[in-house]
Structure 1
C-alpha cells in the first residue's frame, strides 16, 4: 500500500531512501553541432558511454540502499488510461512549437499510433526528425513548412532530461512544479504534471504543489535546497527570478509545510553559475561545498512569513556565520572547490566539483575527475562515492543535478 504522503524530503543530507533519475536516451543522439546553443549544450555526449556512467551512478546508489526510480517509467505509469494518454499527446503537441499545421498532424498521427506508454514517453523525449514523417504534398505544405524546410526536427529533443533536479523539486511533503528558464526545457515539466496528477502512487492530489508550471516567472530545482526541516535555501540566479521565489515562499508558508525561514542567495547571473547547486551544496550537518568565486559578490536575504506578509532582511557578515545561525549550529565549514587555487577552482567548478549528492550525513557522491576538491573533502572526514563523468559532465551538471530525492530519513 502506498504511504499517505509519498514525498518526504526535509533535508539535503538525511539518509536517501528513494530517488528519481533519468537514464540518458536517444534524445542525446538528436543533438547537432549547429543547434547546441538552442539545446543548452556545449558539446555532444557519446550516448553509450553516458549510459554506462549513468548506470554506474544508479548502481552505486543502490549499493547504499537507495531505491532508484526512473522519470521515464513513472511518466509511463501515469499514462495507462487511454484518455489520459491522448490528453498528454495533445498537450505535448501544443507545447512542441510545431508551427506547420500539416507537420503537427503528422506528428500527432505518429504518437497516437504508439500504444505502449513507455515507448510513447521515450519517443516524446527523443524528439521527432522530419525524416521520420511522411513527405508532405505541395497541397499540404503551408508557408511555415516551406520556410522551415531546412530545420531537421519537427519536434526538438529534450537532451537535458537526465538533469532531473530542475523540472520539479521536492520539499517537505510537497513539490514545486517549475516554470523553466528556456523553452527547450520548459516542456520537461509536462512529465511531472502527469506524474503528480495521474500516477497511482504520486498522483491524485497526494502531493501538494507549491509552485505551478503555468506561472509566468521562472524557477528551477537546482536553485531549491532543503537545508533542514525549518530552513530552505533558494538561489536568485540565471535560471530563477526573485519574483518566482516570492510566489514559492508564500505557497510554502501558507500550506504549512513546516519550513520557518528561507535564505535567498543572490549571485552572478551567468551560465557558469547557472544554479545555486552548481556553486553550493550541503554535505554534512555542518559542512558545505562552495565555489570561492561567488563569495565576494554574494548577497543573502532571510525571509520569514508572519500575519500574511513576507518579511525580508538582508544578512550581513560572513556566510559561514549566517548559515550557522540559521541552522542553530556553533559553526559551519565552507569547503572551497579547488582549495586555494583559482585555476583549480575554475576548472573543477566547470566540471561540477561543487555539485554533490549527499546520500547520508558525510557520505557524498562526486565525479572522480575533480581530484583536488575530492582530496580536500576526504581530508575533512567525508566518505566519497566516486563516479565517472567524462560524458555526463558535457551537459554541465553533476550528481545533485542528475537526481531528485523522493524520500529521505529524518535527521536525528
Structure 2
C-alpha cells in the first residue's frame, strides 16, 4: 500500500496551532525485548510491559489523535475497535483493520511502501546490514523478504518471533527525535547515541524516497559533520556534531529554539543555525543550554507550550534564586536539590546576539512579541513547583505535553501535583477514556474544546522516559492567527 494524499503538505509554524498531520510509530515487538543488561545501551532506564503499553495506554493515544485529526476513520467504530480480538489491529499496519490514516501517519507503513521498489530495497538492506555487521547470506535473504515483513524486521530486529538478528530500535516510538518540520522544511537529526543510528538511516530513506514527500525533497536539510571529524579522538568527544528533535521547537513562523543538552551538542546547534540561515528558513534561533544530565535529556522534558500565553516548565531550572543569606538553611537545601544553571542566547540574522537571563524571560518574549499575545504570560510548574514533586513529576514527563490545538494538551495521568496546577490555572481535566465516549456519543466536539488537559494512562509508557511531545512528529499545523 503506497500512502498517497494529493493535499498533503509540510508546514509547521508553531507548537500550538491546530494539529492536522503527524508522524508516529506504535510500539512494536522490539520494545518488549529490551533486557536489563542492555537497557541503558538502548537508552532505556527500565523495561516496559509491551501488552499493557499497547492495549491499555498507546491504544488511547491513537484513538484520540484520530478523533482530532481524521475522525471519519474512527467515528461510529469505537465499540467495534474495542471488541476486536486483537486490539492492535487498529493501530499496527500489518493488520487488516489498520486505520491507514494519511493524517496520523505510521512510520512502519511508509517504510514498507518504499521497500516495494527493488532498487531502494537492495540499497537499504545493504546499508542496514553494513551497520549491523550482518553476513552476506543474511543480506541476500533480507533482500528477498516481502516489504511488509522486511519493514517489521528492520524496526524490531527479529527475523521471526523467536529469532533476533540484530538489536531492536525501541526509541522509534519517540518519532520527534528523527526530524522536525520547520515551516515547510524538514531538518533531519544526527543522533548522539549509536542505538539510534538505524532509525536515523530509515528516516533518511523514507523522507528522500517516499512519494508523500516528493514535493519537499529540496527542502530536506541534513546536518553535516565538522571537517575531518573522523580524526577526533574517542567516541564521546564533546565536539561531536549531534542534534535530536526533542531539542528543537518551532515556536513561531520565524523563530526556532534549539537546546544544547545531553543529546544535542554545541557543534550540532551551530551547524543547524548555519543551515537554517543559509536556506532562509527562519530569521531567529535561540539556543537554550541545559545541564547535560539524564534527568533532562532534551529541552522538551523541561518545558513545552500550552497556549499562546502559557507554558508548562520545571521551576528549578528557571528563575534565579535569592541569595543564601535571605533563606533558612533547610529551605536553601531543598531548593538546591534540582537547581542547575540554564544559559540562553538568541541569534538573529544580520543582528547582534541577544541574551536572556532565564527561561521565563525567553518564553514571555515569545508569547508577547512573536505570537503577539495580549494577555500576560502564565507559567504552570511541574509538581506545582513544590519539592520533591517538581523533580519527581518532571522525571515522568509532566513538562512533555503535546498540544493537539491551542489550550488542549495531552499529558500523563500520574503527575498529580502538576494536574492541580493546571486546575488552578482554569483548565478542565478529563480522562481520555471518558473523553472518547463523549466524542463517540456526540456529547462533545473535539474542535470546540478549550483549555483542557487530557489525562492519558501511563503506568508503563512513563517507564520509557518520554511523553506525548516526544512521541509525535508534527508535519502540518494550522497557523496561529
Write the distance in 1 (CA, Å) between the matches of 2:161 and 2:58.
30
What residue number does 1:287 align with? 310
What is the aligned-residue RMSD (CA, Å)?
2.2
Q: State which of 103, 107, 124 in structure 1 corresponds to 2:154.
A: 124
**Are residues 1:334 and 2:379 paired?**
yes
Counterpart CA distance in 1 for 2:217 and 2:140 is 33
State which of 54, 60, 80 in structure 1 corresponds to 2:58. 54
2:245 corresponding residue in structure 1: 221
- Match for 2:353 among 286, 306, 312? 312
Against the structure 1 CA distance between its residues 250 and 83, is the aligned structure 2 distance closer, same or farther, given a 3 Å change threshold?
same
Contact 2:302 2:400 in 1 (8 A): yes
8 Å CA contact 1:5–1:173 kept in 2: the answer is no
Q: Deviations over 1:212-252 (max 9, x none)?
A: 37676110000000111121111110000111111111211
Please report how far the alpha carbon of residue 262 of structure 1 lies from its aligned counterpart in structure 2 after TM superposition. Answer: 1.4
What is the correspondence of 1:96-175 to structure 2 with a 5 Å cutoff?
Answer: 96=132, 98=133, 103-115=134-146, 117-128=147-158, 154-175=165-186
Do residues 271 (structure 1) and 294 (structure 2) align?
yes
Deviation track 1:231-282 (CA, whole Å, cap 9, x = no partner) reads 111111000011111111121122122x221111111111110000001101
Is 1:232 matched with 2:267? no
Report the TM-score when normalising by structure 1: 0.87
Partner residue in 1 for 2:468: 399
Task: Give me the whole-angstrom Cα distance separating, in 2, the residues matched to 1:311 and 1:305.
Answer: 8
Is 1:73–2:141 an aligned residue pair?
A: no
> What does residue 31 of structure 1 align with?
34
> Following the alignment from structure 2 to structure 1, what is the Cα–Cα distance between the partners of residues 51 and 160?
24
Deviation at 1:322, TM superposition (A): 2.9
TM-score, scaled relative to structure 2: 0.75
SS in 1 for 2:153: helix
Check whether the contact 1:22–1:161 (CA below 8 A) recurs between aligned residues: yes
Question: Do the aligned residues in 1 keep the contact of 2:176 with 2:471 (CA within 8 Å)?
Answer: yes
Number of corresponding residues = 382
> Equivalent residue for 1:150?
none
Contact 1:197-1:204 at 8 Å conserved across structures? no
Instruction: Decide whether the 8 Å contact of 1:218 with 1:240 is kept in 2.
Output: yes
Per-residue deviation, residues 136-165 of structure 1 (Å, max 9, x unmatched): xxxxxxxxxxxxxxxxx6411111110111
1:95 to 2:99 alignment: no
Is the 8 Å Cα contact of residues 223 and 271 (structure 2) preserved in structure 1? no
Contact (CA 8 Å) 2:156, 2:169: kept in 1 or not? Answer: yes
Bigger fraction of residues in strand: 1
Distance 1:75 1:339 in 2: 42
Instruction: Verify: 1:411 aligned to 2:460, yes or no.
Output: no
For residues 287 and 359 of structure 2, the distance between their equivalents in structure 1, rounded to whole angstroms, comes to 12
What are the Cα deviations for residues 14-71 of structure 1, in whole angstroms up to 9, with x where unaligned?
Answer: 0000111101111112211211111111111111111121121011111223531111
2: CA distance between counterparts of 1:112 and 1:129?
13
Distance 1:347 1:322 in 2: 25
Partner of 2:187: 176
Answering whether residue 406 of structure 2 is matched by residue 361 of structure 1, we say yes
Residue deviations 1:172-199, cap 9 Å, x none?
A: 1111111101001122111211111110
Aligned partner of residue 177 in structure 2, secondary structure: coil
> How far 1:169 sits from its partner (Å)?
1.3
Alignment match, 1:248 = 272
After TM superposition, the runs of 4+ consecutive aligned structure 1 residues lying more than 6 A away are: 129-133
Q: Which runs of 5+ in 2 are unaligned?
A: 71-102, 227-239, 321-340, 427-450
SS of residue in 2 equivalent to 1:354? coil
Alignment CA distance shift 1:324-1:401 (3 Å): same
State how 1:189-228 maps to structure 2 within 5 Å. 189-203=200-214, 205-206=216-217, 208-212=219-223, 217-228=241-252
- What SS does structure 2 have at the residue aligned with 1:394? helix
